A and B are shown apart, each in its own frame.
Chain A
Amino acid sequence: MNKRQLKFYFPIFVLPTFAAFCIGFIYPFLHGVYLSFCKFKTTSDATWVGIQNYIDAFQDPSFLHAFAFTAVFTVVSVVLINVLAFTVAHVLTGGIKGANAFRTVFFMPNLIGGVILGYIWQLIFNGILQNWSTNIKLNSTFGFWGLIILLCWQQIGYMMIIYISGLNSIPESLYEAAKVDGATKWQTLRKVTLPMMMPSITICTFLSLTNSFKLFDQNLALTAGEPGLQVGGETIYQTEMLALNIYNTFYQNANTRGVGQAKAVVFFLLVAVIGLAQLYFTRKREVQQ
């Protein structure tokens, strides 16, 4: 295409997307960063307070609790999701009958939205727990594992699909070479399959890491942060994750919106740093194909 001719078509090709992108992302993002340094109830009454909001955010015990909860939750769920998804993918590519049917079943929950998933599992967990006359909102241990089970159920299928396509792309000749060299099954898995699978592992850990860390809908629908525990005159919601904590800071008390926005900026930086660090570390272990 003639570049000079094409240039004049900017208003047709780029402007609609660019305008929407400014409305839907760039302006709200920049405005959000600005507001994190302000005290405000609505966007029109913002007054500059410097880094006070950030200080308040880090002194808020509920935020720190949510951070710790989210961190532990993320570690456990990333490990479980990836180990289980890899195992399932490995079994399904081993040439068993009906592999496609199994794949269909395992992927299905992934299409259901977070809020609906939350209510499905609430019914199931409460149905089991009522035998001990308790429920998912009364005990934070149950809440934690409930969320883990829910997220595994939703995400294993998705990661499995990526792992299956990775496993299928490993050339058969490598396995034959390993066999000729007399490698055991375990050695083949560790020395051939895993190194060749590093690109898929990178993607899956990245996706599951950011998904778990940013979890909101499922958290809201399953436990809504319950149970609340009184600590020094303040209620700390035991299963409240970061995203839900930020949401509550915004919408339960209009006076703390500045703090909420500051928390959101911290949250964004955390997601960015953790995601990029993870990409960097797993990328390093990828082998040249």
Chain B
Amino acid sequence: MFKKNAIGKTITTIIMTLISVVYISPIFIVLMNSFKLKTSISASPFVLPGAESYVGLENYMRGITFGDYPFYKSVMYSIFITVFSTLAILLFTSMTAWYITRVDNKICRGIYYFCVFSMIVPFQMVMYTLSKTADTLNLSNPVGIIVVYLGFGAGLAVFMFCGFVKSIPLEIEEAANIDGCGPIRTFFGIVLPIMKPTLISVCILETMWIWNDYLLPYLVLDIKNYRTIPIHIQYLNGSYGQSDIGAIMALIVLSIIPIVVFYFTCQKHIIKGIMAGAVKG
């Protein structure tokens, strides 16, 4: 019985290994093709680069200068927008969530229900009016879009923070109050440190969303001057007639690298973040 079980497990492990290799292969196929000659990518995408088709880093050099918009700028804007939007969401929505949970009057409950409601509204519902509003208010730049992200991303964040604040015992805050802490010191000195696990979860979810988001920045930003990585890739493929597939492969690899690094450095937090975010359903 025991032996049979052990053999079964080995077979399962082998099967899973094979599936994993197949599962991860698309990423390697792109990596491999990014070192190949343009014409041999489209002719034989599944062949390893040979003596004739290997071009070294040529695709990368062409990729980062390709088109009328330099790639490094897209990377910079992507990083800037993702980092500062996420920070803004974390700071402001955690404050809001604490306030509306503690004060809990009609206005607060109204805001809370609006936030929950906003989570089920698809972006297409507001895309046109949102981009026009952002235009009117001069928010079509990397700084302004932070406001848009704070507004559109507030729903999920407020909801998750509220759920957590409810579980914090009131006594801790009351003790701080008796010791003479005002609301601001109570929040930043006591409540915020307690919220750390939820802060990490929200941070992960919002970062993943904003980094990969295509349509919102595409419609809100002034595309001539500001692009993010997804917009850049979409542009390369769409608007230059015969698109340069070698350059695209190289840029795809370059845009996956930050994600992979991020994943391997905070894998534990990412997985916890997903599980915490899932409970919202």
Q: Does A85 contact B (CB under 8 A)?
A: no
Contact with B along A131-160 (1 / 0, CB 8 A): 000000000000000000000010000100
Interchain CB contact under 8 A, A21 and B154: yes
- Measured between beta carbons, the chain B residues less than 8 angstroms from A275 are 120
The reply on A216 being an interface residue by CB < 8 A is yes
**Chain B's interface: helix, strand, loop or mixed, by majority?**
helix
Name B233-281 residues within 8 Å CB distance of A. Answer: 233-234, 237, 245, 248-249, 252, 255-256, 259-260, 262-263, 267, 270-271, 274-275, 278-279, 281
- Interface 0/1 of A250-269, CB less than 8 Å to B: 10000001001100110110
Which of B132, B214, B274 interacts with A217 by CB under 8 Å?
B214
Q: Closest residue of chain A to B12, judged by CB?
A: A96
Contact A217 B92 (CB under 8 A): no
* A22 contact set on B, CB distance < 8 A: 151
Q: Is the CB of A7 within 8 A of B103?
A: yes
Q: Are B114 and A267 in contact (CB under 8 A)?
A: no
Choose one: A42, A109, A116, A276; the contact of B255 (CB below 8 Å). Answer: A116
Contact check, B233 vs A119: say whether CB atoms are below 8 A apart. Answer: yes
CB pair A28–B23 under 8 Å, yes or no, is no
Contact A2 B177 (CB under 8 A): yes
Residues of A within 8 A of B139 (CB): 23
The 8 Å CB contact of B96, one of A14, A35, A220, A257, is: A14
Q: A97-B13, A264-B125 are in contact. Are A108 and B150 (CB under 8 A)?
A: no
Confirm or deny: B193 has a beta carbon within 8 angstroms of a beta carbon on chain A. no
Contact A12 B184 (CB under 8 A): yes
CA distance A161 to B268 in the complex (A): 12
Q: Which of A153, A220, A261 contacts B23 (CB 8 A)?
A: A153
| Binding-face segment, A120-128, A170-178, A232-240 | A120-128
Neighbouring B residues of A231 by C-beta, 8 Å:
none
Chain B residues with Cβ under 8 A from A7's Cβ?
103
Q: Which of these binds chain A: B27-35, B58-66, B69-77?
A: B27-35
Our pick among B13, B46, B278 for the contact of A203 (Cβ within 8 Å) is: B278
Could you tell me if B129 and A28 are in contact, using CB atoms closer than 8 angstroms?
yes
Q: Report 23 cross-chain contacts, Cβ distance below 8 Å, ordered by A residue.
A: A1-B174, A5-B183, A20-B92, A20-B154, A24-B152, A25-B155, A29-B121, A35-B129, A91-B12, A106-B23, A109-B23, A111-B263, A114-B230, A116-B233, A116-B252, A120-B26, A120-B29, A120-B30, A120-B252, A202-B281, A207-B281, A268-B125, A275-B120
Contacts A20-B150, A29-B129 known; 17 new A-B pairs at CB < 8 A: A10-B99, A13-B187, A14-B95, A14-B111, A21-B151, A23-B133, A29-B126, A32-B128, A106-B23, A107-B270, A111-B208, A115-B233, A116-B212, A116-B229, A120-B30, A153-B26, A264-B125
Q: Interface of A with B (CB < 8 Å)?
A: 1-3, 5-7, 9-10, 12-14, 16-18, 20-29, 31-32, 35, 42-43, 91-92, 94-98, 101-109, 111-116, 119-121, 123-124, 126-127, 130, 153, 158, 161-162, 165, 200, 202-204, 206-207, 210, 214, 216-217, 220-221, 243, 246-247, 250, 257, 260-261, 264-265, 267-268, 271-272, 275-276, 279
Kindly list the 4 A-B residue pairs having the minimum CB-CB distance in the complex, ordered from nearest: A24-B151, A113-B212, A127-B45, A13-B99
Interface residues of B, Cβ cutoff 8 Å to A: 9, 12-13, 16-17, 20, 23-24, 26-27, 29-30, 33, 41-42, 44-46, 92-93, 95-96, 98-100, 102-103, 108, 111, 114-115, 118, 120-130, 132-134, 137, 139, 147-155, 158, 170, 173-174, 176-177, 182-184, 186-187, 208, 211-215, 229-230, 233-234, 237, 245, 248-249, 252, 255-256, 259-260, 262-263, 267, 270-271, 274-275, 278-279, 281
